[in-house]
Structure 1
Amino acid sequence: DAVCKGSTVHLSNNPAWWNLSRPANSSRIFYGVMFDAGSTGTRIHVYTFIQKDPEELPVLDNEMFHSIKPGLSAYADTPEMGGYTVRQLLKVAKKTVPRLEWKRTPLVLKATAGLRLLPSEKAQALLEQVQDVFDESPFFVPDDSVSIMNGTNEGILAWVTVNFLTGHLYAETRKTVGILDLGGGSTQITFLPKSKKTIGSSPDDYIARIDMLNSTYELYTHSYLGNGLMAARLAALGALGAEGTGITYFTYHHQHYPVSVPGYVGYKLCYQEVLKVVKGIVHQPYELKDTSVFYAFSYYFDRAVDAGLIDRTQGGMLEVRDFKKRAKEVCNKMSKYHLISPFLCMDMTYITCLLKDGFGFKENTVLQLTKKVNNVETSWALGATFNHFQNLKIYR
């Protein structure tokens, strides 16, 4: 593996510690608790699995999900309060997991861009508080149970989650779907290239290998720190400090920024400014012109709901041009959309720019906007939980 480009992930199908002393043909119910400490909120996922066959991935029976705002990084100067928010969320796990299973149910927290962007000593103080809360809990606390996840893993594990939930990991066809995740601090793209040229023309660290259920996948994956929606908004607002109709406060990363929201900027000017945050930073993979369907979630989904493009409960299929068309409408009718969010024009323009001028998607590329697949959140958290159950390892 050392000679491969980029990273390698191994997802073994060996029975793990939780399968000890079980007859080969008996089903086993087990649980996993994964905390997603993002830049704008902390979320808990409590998964219930059924292991029917030790040679296959377990069946996901249920997910209990709960989230709170703000994220851990908002408590950079009061880490005890950050620990307190995690302690509150742990109540969800205690209610969901049967008491007899607590001591063998792993408890894991992975932090993303919010903590990556903090000074290391402040991030460390927060992680130590969380570790203390975990150590006091009645659950099983694995080694390295509290950590900051690197962006590559974030993209790979989201890809594992979505392709597991859509049934593609079981299929012989090796048809998979790509993922687009837009967080507050960072954004990820991961897909399985069909063309060798995509792999050959990409920087080494954009290619990762994943071994799973006796198959090897060579993925294109990258995480752009600073190109999440909130970080990009802040960067663009630096350039857009034009004549405004009023001061509004934009809070990001535990700082309050007074910004003037332009009264009438229009789509074109807004696009020029957000382009500066994207152009030359985001790599364009060779084959995105004709690749398969991408699942887009997090802020892609939220802003499409806010702009009236999709239904919050149903989600839906959109083309890239739908974002562009609605961005123009929002920007040119600010008074109509201003009450929903004073930043909706900028956010929709940024998403359009990121998709078109960033990644290089065509206007007719189809995106599946979704928050859940089969009632399970489409995030990296499920893939990360398999990490702990199925010995998922990433080598650099």
Structure 2
Amino acid sequence: MSAQREMKEKNPWHTPVTIIITVIGVIAIVALVTVAVLQNRPVSQKYKYGIVLDAGSSHTALYIYEWPAEKDNNTGRVEQTHSCKVKGKGISSYASEPWKAGESLTLCMQEAEQKVPKKRHHETPLYLGATAGMRLLNMENSSASDKVFQAVEKALQKSPFSYQGARILSGQEEGAFGWVTVNYLDDRLMQGLETTGALDLGGASTQISFVSDNYDGSESPSNSVAFRLYGNDYNLYTHSFLCYGKDQVLRMALAQQTQSGPRTILDPCFHPGYTEIKNYSVLYDSPCVSDRKPQGAPVSFNHRGNGSFGQCQEIVKSVFNFTSCKYSQCSFNGVFQPLLQGPFGAFSAYYFVMNFLNLTDTSIPLDTVKDKLTRYCATPWDQIKLQHPNVKLNYLEEYCFSGTYILTLLTEGYNFTSESYSNIKFIKKIKGSDAGWTLGYMLNLTNMIPAEAPDSPPLPHAGYVSIVTIIALLLVVLFILSLRPLWPRCSKQPHII
């Protein structure tokens, strides 16, 4: 027993100093691992959300956007995460029943509540922007326009989101924000690349926007918009033509053919065999044509088609004014337009019409495009209906006219040539986001929404490095001290000569 006690006393590993060193070493190792794990765990990304309602002339659509709470160069990196098409027509069509304009938004707003995280509802801004349909209604009947907006606001204020207001966008804003969308989605703004022009076509208006080296804004300043995005300045030419959306131009083309108040017209912009009874009052019920309604016209007329692209194009040309221009150069209706420059993205109705006609490939020569459209317009109406049984007739009957109008607008109106036509790309979406003005609008608004600091590691980098270094040095010292019991043995070993 005494021998065991003596051995224990002689064993250096059982001394209090060694035990203390071991305990401190274990604590230091645990501390080092804990600090490393906490400091290097993934930092959760914070996101913000925004909702924009696009109240167009023919329909309303809701878009949800998401972007990191910390921003790049003071501009949030916005991406579309969801879209919802409101059932029914545009809010301007509810002028006689304004409450229905608000009710029509209910289902899409309910979808938005499901898509945006609940904890973000109260801070998610909600905007409604109305375009040409409401511009026309406001021109025609401002009281009815106000009542529609009141109904819309009442419905949107009931949502859990941060409602920021509903307003009519100017044509200039619509064009400019469409340009921002196209270039943002194509990563041209962040990289400072050559920008893409934007061509937007709706039911009641059309916009053209692009940057030109030959335009500094001094000639026709009303068509100039300055942007600063991602540290770069852009001087943009933009113009919006009210009444030159495809639906309103169709009214103008029909008005051109019914000036004498006939009971029957033979329309080259509709297929052979097409026939429909149309009401004069309905045709002329728009500020774009209301002052042209013929006196003493019958209640209705028989609208018949004979499908001739060439004759249709002549009728379409008649709605443009190419004779007056007080500037160095014009597009049409006396509006200044600098020389076209760079590639262009054409979206909205441009895409939907040309996609239906299988004419989105602009590498096809322009003459070939016209030949294809000529054959399409000459196809009998009964055959067209058989070929497209799932397309609504009110859409199907207008594709010959709409295709002819698009080609005429681009080549005769905006001066695209056989060569520059190939610079146009018809687009629906870019990287999952719809092409249109809403994303540009949201992107611009993020400059006014305060940035939120991202979650950060518990320690600053310098502090983390200092703590790890101190603990590492402590462990080295402890390791050396833990070898202390071996020192006497090493010193007493005999030297071999």
User: What residue number does 2:48 align with?
Assistant: 30
Q: How many residues align?
A: 356
Q: Which runs of 5+ in 2 are unaligned?
A: 1-42, 259-264, 268-273, 287-298, 323-331, 389-395, 450-497
- Using the size of structure 2 for normalisation, the TM-score is 0.66
- Contact 1:182 1:297 (8 Å CA) reproduced: yes
User: What residue number does 2:196 align with?
Assistant: 177
Name the CA distance, whole Å, in 1 between partners of 2:448 and 2:187: 21
Residue 50 of structure 1: CA displacement? 1.8
- Using the size of structure 1 for normalisation, the TM-score is 0.82
User: What residue number does 2:312 align with?
Assistant: 270
Distance 1:292 1:248, change over 3 A: farther
User: What residue number does 2:467 align with?
Assistant: none
Name the CA distance, whole Å, in 2 between partners of 1:107 and 1:188: 25
Q: Tell me the amino acid that sits aligned with residue 139 of structure 1.
A: F
Q: Tell me the amino acid that sits aligned with residue 55 of structure 1.
A: N
The answer to whether 1:73 aligns with 2:92 is: yes
* Cα deviation 1:24-52 (Å, max 9, x = unaligned): x9843010000000000000001121244
The answer to whether 1:369 aligns with 2:369 is: no
Distance 1:337 1:278, change over 3 A: farther
Pick the structure with more strand per residue: 1
Aligned pairs (5 A) from 1:270-289: 270-280=312-322, 281-282=332-333, 283=335, 285-288=337-340
- Contact 2:72 2:230 (8 Å CA) reproduced: no
* Cα deviation 1:233-269 (Å, max 9, x = unaligned): 11101223523652155988988x9664433141221
User: What residue number does 2:370 align with?
Assistant: 324
* Cα deviation 1:162-205 (Å, max 9, x = unaligned): 110000001134x0000000000000000011224x855x5221
* Cα deviation 1:113-137 (Å, max 9, x = unaligned): 0110112111111111111112211
The answer to whether 1:352 aligns with 2:407 is: yes
Range moving further from structure 2, 57-66 or 105-114:
57-66
User: What residue number does 2:266 align with?
Assistant: 243
Aligned pairs (5 A) from 1:282-301: 282=333, 283=335, 285-288=337-340, 291-301=341-351
User: What residue number does 2:234 align with?
Assistant: 217
- Contact 2:63 2:80 (8 Å CA) reproduced: no
Aligned pairs (5 A) from 1:46-85: 46-68=64-86, 69-85=88-104
User: What residue number does 1:157 align with?
Assistant: 177
- Give % identity: 27
Name the CA distance, whole Å, in 1 between partners of 2:74 and 2:166: 27
Distance 1:299 1:258, change over 3 A: farther
User: What residue number does 2:142 align with?
Assistant: 120
* Cα deviation 1:40-98 (Å, max 9, x = unaligned): 00000011212444535333344201113311111111111010012222112101101
**RMSD after superposition:** 2.7
Residue 316 of structure 1: CA displacement? 7.4
The secondary structure found in structure 2 opposite 1:356 is: helix
Larger-Rg structure: 2
User: What residue number does 1:207 align with?
Assistant: 224
- Contact 2:49 2:124 (8 Å CA) reproduced: yes
Distance 1:72 1:323, change over 3 A: farther
Pick the structure with more helix per residue: 2
Residue 361 of structure 1: CA displacement? 0.7
* Cα deviation 1:277-305 (Å, max 9, x = unaligned): 123345463312xx211000111111112
